[in-house]
Chains A and B, each alone.
Chain A
Amino acid sequence: MNPDCILELPNDLRSIERAVQYLMDRGRDAGFDRERLRLNFRVGVSEALANAMLYGNGRDPAKRVRVEARISPDAITVRVTDEGRGFNPETLPDPTLPANRVSAGGRGVFLIRKLMDRVEFNERGNSITMILLAERERETGS
């Protein structure tokens, strides 16, 4: 990805909302679907940032989270990278199974996968790349 926006965030949950709002504003200014920004983009990026800060960086205030984004009217690509050791996303249980529905956690990556159009992790598992397509691009591709 050749990013046109790079953010270096402190490992502070309070920075999530501002960063996500900034990226949503950039998407809106670029002419991306407002509805998909409001739900799909907001949830996907917020969850990725929270996971990076809580689990990737283990709440360590000395660590940082890097956000790279490429924004166009047709698609937004966002990569979130933490300084942690990474994890294996394939081992996550399905939170919608009846036995898991009563669990307090485990829905973040699930929601990212449901709401973004493409989701990839790097081999180490400390970097997630998410692509959200504009509605018309999804229709063209289907």
Chain B
Amino acid sequence: MGFDVKKQSGITVIDVEGQLIVGNRQELKQKVLQELENGERKFLIDFARTGYIDSSGLGVLVSLSKKIREQGGELRLANLNEDLRTLFELTKLDTLFQISSSREEALSSF
């Protein structure tokens, strides 16, 4: 379980492995904010290998999206499984994020 950060086509891509929950959300936040501080502005979080996101995890995505936008950047999401998509739809966060069905689609959308 963890976060793998890499650069792809000038975009910072973060793979969330396992879960994004109250116990590890700060780790993701710190990693993304560090990249933002380093001057990165385009972020993609890929949930292809994510089983579960809790409300704290959803909250940290909202918070990061706001901070990135304030710096003139953008955060996009990809590869939500059916359960995760349900959580985004219930909370109407699907209206707040650009969500792609694949990493390739997300990368080409920037």
A residues contacting B by CB (< 8 A) are: 13-14, 16-17, 38-39, 42-43, 46-47, 50, 54, 95-96, 101-105, 107-108, 110-111, 114-115
Contacts and interface: CB of A to CB of B under 8 A. Distances in A.
Contact of B22 (A54, A101, A115): A54
Given A38-B83, A96-B91, A114-B90, A102 B96 contact: yes
- Binding site secondary structure of chain A: helix
Contacts of A103: 59, 62
- 9 A-B pairs with least C-beta separation: A107-B55, A104-B59, A96-B92, A104-B63, A108-B55, A39-B83, A13-B23, A50-B22, A114-B90
Interface string B47-71: 0000010111011101100100000
Interface residues of B, number: 23
B95 interface: yes
B21 interface: yes
